[in-house]
Structure 1
Amino acid sequence: MENIQVIIPIYKPDYKFIVLLKKIKEQSIKNIPLLIIDSGSKDEYRDEIKNMNCLVKKIDVKTFNHGGTRQMGANMFPDKDIYIFLTQDAILANEKSIENIVKVFNNSNIGCAYGRQLPYKNASLFSSHARFFNYKDKSYIYSIDDKKKYGIKTAFNSNSFAAYRKKALDEIGGFPISTILSEDMYVTAKMLVNKWSVAYCSDAIVYHSHDYTIWQEFKRYFDIGVFHSRESWIRDIFGKAEGEGKKYIISEIKYLIEKNIMLIFPMIIRDAMKFLGYRLGMKEQFISKHIKRKISMTKNFWN
């Protein structure tokens, strides 16, 4: 419990980040060491961190990379045993959230763990369903042997609220420095292949969701397609993402029939754009860099 490090990359944070900092101070583990990697803010949080065990590292936004920046943060604290990552808009749900994700590492087989994400109270039905589909109320531990049953879902993880054992992270070479996103899945897959296990902690909870527009969903799934294309070994080992996509759509239809059947048609358009974005991302080698920058959510990646 004592040898942990919380790391939060931020870029132009809104009020949610201030709420997150308040929640960190309320945790059952007191005086939690915190690193803020700031690639673009007006120091709005300065007053909030005055009495916290906090270090701020300023970086140029042009140097930010989903994997590389997080690895830089971990490298700053080589004496720590567990690294806990949060995003600036993930709000800890209660005072036990960090304690509950850390305690799972008492199991020496656990290489990484991630917490449960609940939608914000004002989240759309599309966003709410995404959280309820991916983050159930039952904890589990997966090993490489579970890939036969759960496929690519075995390697699922989210750095919006995740924790990593330093020993396991070092063993697989740390976070990748060149992925467009999904650095969390990359590391989890590597750990599983190296015989570590991943834990889902349903009692380690944050509030976190996104109400993306249809165009934003397209761009996000384009980036996911790029990731799966470039890291094809993950699909080779764990299976294609399309199978999980079918399960998602079936679940989404049932959810909307119950909540608001009028959203079925917008759902069809939204999911079609996701699929189109993903397939284009998978074929990104045939698309010019200029176009890729236009249709990508992670524009800096193409610079």
Structure 2
Amino acid sequence: MMEKTVGVVIPAFCPGPLFHELLRRLARQTHIPEEVVIINTIPEPQGCGTAQRTEAAEIAEEFRTSFPALTVLEVRQRDFGHGKTRNLGIGHTDTELVLCMTQDALPRDSRLVERLMHAFDDPAVAAAYARQLPGKKSSVLEAEARTFNYPPSSVIKSAADLDRLGIKTFFCSDVCAMWRRSAYDQAGGFERDVIFNEDMILAGKMIQNGGRIAYCADAQVYHAHHYSGIRQLHRNFDLGVSQADYPEIFNMASSSREGLRFVRQTTSDLIRSGRGYLVPQLLWQSGCKYAGYQLGKKYRKLPDRLVRILTGSPAYWEQNKRTSTHSTQ
């Protein structure tokens, strides 16, 4: 049986040292990707500037001989989209499997690609995603969130799990997710004009098509965010917008239980570990998440000005003018 081939697609915006380290670790994998596509987003004048744009190209050039094929594409910041930009990158690969990563996800070891590939030995697996571990500088609450969303045990999920797992059935993260090209094509690829959640929308379509989503706990990346409560509100507003725009996916299962379960479990863990003083911060951040999410789900009833204040993706609203095209081109 011929070994599967893997392409890697990485959108990059004002990349720094983590991006360099990501490419270095990819070049040391037991299975070196046959193709790597970097999509460099060109910042607007008020963005990170031409120096960082040049740095991105220079970093990529440094690794040109580390992979069988490396391609660098450019898109303007105002034209970036979570779905369409990744579609662009995947369109420049010709491999059986495609690994989507973010520029700040660092493989824990040299077997990340190999372990994700193993999930596709099951012909029904359409996508596989890695476990995300908190970094050394992650806060206690961030570490709790990573453990909640990315537990230590692997699982393969299908439509049969919708009643038991709810929305977790098609949870999947493009921070580090590998997609089977044939299943990607069958589902129509990523939604072109989605504000957020392009990964879960595609995974949901794959579940509807009879595919399975593999969570590979032994394939691990370091990845963490340090968001304030207000930043969480913006992020979860966009999350709510995505769910409102794609009810055919998100109405398959309930998501309301997950947030409450996280708060209860984390509160218990904090008190048990003697860190109960963090519970008010947990409640503040969780309240911001909930408020943003609920407002996002009702965004069509809100004034344009308020939507643009609440969103974390202002460029999206400039591009789409509050319409949902459900397009993948």
Give the structure-1-normalised TM-score.
Answer: 0.96
For residue 279 of structure 1, the aligned residue among 294, 313, 316 is: 294
In structure 2, stretches of 5+ residues that fail to align are 43-51, 319-329
Residue 131 of structure 2 aligns to a residue whose secondary structure is strand
Amino acid in the other structure paired with 1:269: W
Equivalent residue for 2:123? 108
In structure 1, stretches of 5+ residues that fail to align are none
For residue 79 of structure 2, the aligned residue among 59, 63, 67 is: 63
In 1, Cα distance between equivalents of 2:167 and 2:33: 37
- Aligned pairs for 1:23-172 (under 5 A) are 23-30=25-32, 32-40=34-42, 41-44=52-55, 45-46=59-60, 48-53=62-67, 54-77=70-93, 79-172=94-187
Equivalent residue for 1:12? 14
Pairwise CA distance, 1:47: 5.1
Equivalent residue for 2:231? 216
Pairwise CA distance, 1:11: 0.6
In 2, Cα distance between equivalents of 1:46 and 1:161: 19
1:97-120, CA deviations, whole angstroms, 9 ceiling, x for partnerless residues?
111001211110000110000001
In 1, Cα distance between equivalents of 2:314 and 2:16: 21
Residue 82 of structure 2 aligns to a residue whose secondary structure is coil
Equivalent residue for 2:264? 250
Give the structure-2-normalised TM-score.
Answer: 0.88
Residue 42 of structure 1 aligns to a residue whose secondary structure is helix
In 1, Cα distance between equivalents of 2:21 and 2:231: 26
Residue 27 of structure 1 aligns to a residue whose secondary structure is coil
Pairwise CA distance, 1:46: 4.2
Amino acid in the other structure paired with 1:67: G
Equivalent residue for 1:204? 219
Worse overlay, 6-15 or 35-44: 35-44
1:46-105, CA deviations, whole angstroms, 9 ceiling, x for partnerless residues?
45324233211011111110011111111122x321010100000010000111001211
Amino acid in the other structure paired with 2:117: V
Task: State the superposition RMSD in angstroms.
Answer: 1.3
Pairwise CA distance, 1:43: 3.1
In 1, Cα distance between equivalents of 2:14 and 2:262: 32
Tell whether the 8 Å contact from 1:18 to 1:48 is kept in structure 2 after alignment: no
Count of residue pairs brought into register by the alignment = 301
Pairwise CA distance, 1:9: 0.3
In 1, Cα distance between equivalents of 2:184 and 2:206: 8
Tell whether the 8 Å contact from 1:28 to 1:99 is kept in structure 2 after alignment: yes
Pairwise CA distance, 1:236: 1.9
Tell whether the 8 Å contact from 1:23 to 1:95 is kept in structure 2 after alignment: yes
In 1, Cα distance between equivalents of 2:53 and 2:257: 43
1:264 corresponds to 2:279? yes
Tell whether the 8 Å contact from 2:308 to 2:314 is kept in structure 1 after alignment: yes
User: Aligned in 2, Cα 1:281/1:20: closer, same or farther, shift over 3 Å?
Assistant: same
Amino acid in the other structure paired with 2:262: Y
Pairwise CA distance, 1:31: 5.7
Tell whether the 8 Å contact from 1:3 to 1:81 is kept in structure 2 after alignment: yes
Amino acid in the other structure paired with 1:11: F
Structure 1 segments, 4+ long, off by >4 Å, are none
